[in-house]
Structure formats: structure tokens, C-alpha cells
Amino acid sequence: MNAGGKETDKFFTLRYSMLLQIVALSLPPQAETILMPELALLIEAGRIAVEFVQAEDSDASSALARADAVFCDAFDRELRGQAERLRWVQFTHTDVAGRLYPELWAGETQVSKARGLVAKDAALQVWQSITRFAEGLPSPFARPFDIRDVTVGIVGAGDLGQAVGKLCQQNGVQTVGIRRHPDRETPGLNSVTGHIQYHDLVLASQVIVLTLPLTPHTPQTFGEDEIEILHPGTYLVNAGRMGLIDTRWVERALTKGWLAGAMLTDWPDEPISDDSPFRNLPNCLITPALTYNTPDYWQGFARFARQQTEQFLQTGTVLHLVDRYLGY
């Protein structure tokens, strides 16, 4: 029997026996081109139907009224109200900051996020920044150092934090980290503690890497309190959203040399404006945020979406659920 036949046989054991109506909402054209072939076997077997619509389309309301599942980057609250039979929302990105509201979960709808699609590339960006620091920046505060002599502190040891840690360890760099559940296995880190030991990590690290999601609980995770206890020669890498740092205090610390250097990304407006105070700081690496709208990203998401869809069909539930209370 060919591979397609094997896949079709599997459908007879699925728990969700009705046709699953999926609406792909306001995704870019290349997403449709890449996603549809990945879902083709499920479509041909009569297990799912997929409809691509833009939020502003005249038929968006009727499509959402039929939807059992929605794949989207963001889901407007008003549109959510039109999807009364919805059972599952799948965000296309890991970062769901600013996209959550209580009504998303109406009727026990499951809300899930993409996972692991950019961690490798983002971790490489972090590692390249650390090696730039080691080479020295054109600032009296940022002298060269032996990268094997530093400890990298990772704040938020999830997928991205672990990917950063693995790169560090592969290059002989010691790593420490904090996470909400320090008892969980955390590859890439030599030691892991809970959030209550955050300032201990700040004191123990020569390079501090922020890999936290931005949630209602994490704005300005790095600011005045952390800067006041820094050892001289400490560097900051913000691999998350700009809201994780107090930009006023970080700019002051870079100017005064309290921070030896920093890599900052995810600027609110890109390219960064000419009048930004960070633009003229020689010890600040200005890095554009990684783009999600590439063929490689959508290929990864397509595989992920197929796996999530199969999981839903088989069990009625999906993986990588967003915690409505923690916000990620």
C-alpha cells in the first residue's frame, strides 16, 4: 500500500468523525501556497476543508460562522464573536503578546501557539551578538574578552533559551538560567533555578540574555533594579520583545558604562528612527527582528499545522496550548 493509503487508513480510527472546517484568516498568499500541499491528504480523505479569507473580505463573516478552527496571526475580537461554533484557534507564531482576550476561549475553545519554528535562527542571532561582544565594540566600556571565561545567564529557559544555551555549551561557555518550572528538564543549561533567584542570576552573569515572552507579568523585566546591581563589564542581549526592558534605564546604562554593551531587537518601528538615542551608542548593536514572512517559516508552520490538525482529529485536543492566565 502506498504512503497515501497508509495515511487514509489512519483516518478510520480518528475520534473527530465530522468534517473539520478550518478558516485560514488573513494569512499571506505564500502561506496558502505552502500550507495546502501539506494538508492535501487530510483534505482528499474528507477529514478537513480549508478556506482562506481576509478579515476585510465580504464573505469573512459567513466563513467564520462555519469554522471549527481558525489559523491566524491575530484574531479580532469582533470577528471572534462571529465564530460561534469554534473549537480551536491556532496562532501562526509563538509570540502571542497583544493577541489574547477572554472571549478567545469562549465555549471551551482551545487556543494554541506555534512552537519551535524560529528558535534555532534566533539563538544563532544571540550567539553572533555574544561573539561580537567578545571581539570588542568601539567603546571604552566594551573591551575584548575570552568568551570561554564568561557565564551566560538566560532569563526564560524555554525553547529559545535552551537553543541559546546549547550553542553556548557547544563553544565551551558556562550557562545558568531561570524558568517558571525549574524542575523540568532543561537542555543547554548547566544550572536552572526559579524566578525568585533572578537577581542571583544577574549577579552571576557577564552576559544576560532575555528570552522571555512578553506577557502582562513580564514588562520591564530588566530595568533600574537590575542595572543598580550589575557588575562592571556586564552585557545585555534582549532576544524578546522590546517591552521586556526599561528602555530609558538601558539607554542611560549604556551611556554611562554601567552596561558594557547590549544587543537590542524588535524595535517598535523598523527601521529604527534617526533620532533614536540608541542609534549613536557605539556599545549598542541594533538588530532587526527576525521576519516570519518567509518561505522557510511557512514551510515549518505548514508541517506544524498538519501535526496539530492530526492531533485534534485523533484526540479532540491539541498541543502547545496558550495559558490564558499566564499569557503565553
Give the angle 306-95-49 at the CA atoms, nearest 5°. Answer: 25
pLDDT band at 17 (very low <50, low <70, confident <90, very high): low
Query: Tell me, what's the pLDDT at 288?
Result: 78
Distance separating alpha carbons of residues 221 and 250, to the nearest angstrom: 12
Query: Tell me, what's the pLDDT at 113?
Result: 97
Average pLDDT over residues 14-33: 86
Distance separating alpha carbons of residues 256 and 160, to the nearest angstrom: 30
Average pLDDT over residues 99-124: 94
Instruction: Return the number of other C-beta atoms located less than 10 Å from residue 124's C-beta.
Output: 14
What does the DSSP 8-state code read for residue 74? -
**The 3-state secondary structure of 79-134, one letter per residue:** HHCCCCCCCEEEECCCCCCCCCCHHHHHHHCEEECCCCCCHHHHHHHHHHHHHHHH
Does the structure show a pLDDT above 50 at 177?
A: yes
Query: Tell me, what's the pLDDT at 292?
Result: 75
pLDDT band at 9 (very low <50, low <70, confident <90, very high): very low
Does the structure show a pLDDT above 50 at 132?
A: yes
Does the structure show a pLDDT above 50 at 182?
A: yes
Average pLDDT over residues 33-39: 97
Query: Tell me, what's the pLDDT at 116?
Result: 85
Query: Tell me, what's the pLDDT at 269?
Result: 63
pLDDT band at 105 (very low <50, low <70, confident <90, very high): very high
Residue whose entry in the numeric block shows the C-alpha cell 571604552: 140
Give the CB-side neighbour count of residue 62, counting CA atoms within 13 A: 3
pLDDT in tens, 236-286: 999 999 999 999 999 999 999 999 999 998 776 666 777 888 989 999 999
**Hey, what domains does the chain have and what are their CATH numbers?**
3-116+293-315 (3.40.50.720), 119-286 (3.40.50.720)
Distance separating alpha carbons of residues 214 and 220, to the nearest angstrom: 9
Phi, psi of 152 (to 5 degrees): -100, 120
Grid cell locating 135: 571581539
User: What is the full DSSP assignment across 282-325?
Assistant: TTEEE-PPPPS-SHHHHHHHHHHHHHHHHHHHHHS--SSB--TT
What does the DSSP 8-state code read for residue 157? -
> Regarding beta strands 151-155 and 110-112, do their DSSP bridges make them parallel or antiparallel, or are they unpaired?
unpaired
When the pLDDT of each residue in the chain is averaged and rounded to a whole number, the result is 92
Distance separating alpha carbons of residues 138 and 133, to the nearest angstrom: 10
| Residue pair 242/236 in contact by the 8 Å Cβ criterion | no
Average pLDDT over residues 287-304: 86
